[in-house]
Amino acid sequence: MELDDTYNIFVNAQETLSSISFENLNERLSTDERRHSMAEPPGPGAVGPAQELALVHDAHNRVDVAKSLEQLNVLPKEAQRTKSVEDIPELNAFFKVIQDLTEGIKKISSHQQSITELNQDINTFGEHTAKQCAGASSLSSLSNRMAGMNLN
């Protein structure tokens, strides 16, 4: 049943969150940040003697930074951090929980929409039935009055 699946999403998320060691995650992120700050080059224009700065230009004579970095075989800092983030299981588990909770919230919204539509259908049916009952009772009272009338 869909409600059971939705419930299980939140139960599993709770279990996963309780299994994550946030102290360990903090230590690993701090260590990773220190490692990246120590590995950064000394300055933006500093290039080692073995490396030659060869900039790649596009058709409009503008420097294409991405291609220039590729040519130097240097990964952008964000790519380095992305790789190191992938190596932290606690962080991966946390992102998985966020993804699961997002899916669970979408399912709850879908359930709420279905319930709202069902309530509208019930109300419409109830109004329709009430009108029919009211019409039937007025017909029966009319027939009772007509039966009581003397046509003479």
pLDDT in tens, the chain (152 residues): 677 888 899 999 899 888 888 777 777 777 766 565 555 554 454 444 444 556 777 787 777 766 766 666 665 555 555 556 667 788 888 888 999 999 999 999 988 999 999 999 988 888 877 777 666 666 666 666 666 665 54
Tens of pLDDT, residue by residue over 86-101, are 677 888 888 889 999 9
Residues 46, 65: Cα–Cα separation, whole Å: 16
- Token pair in block for residue 8: 């299980």
**CA-based nearest residue to 27, from 94, 78, 83, 88:** 88
Cα gap 98→134, rounded to integer Å: 53
d(CA 10, CA 52): 54
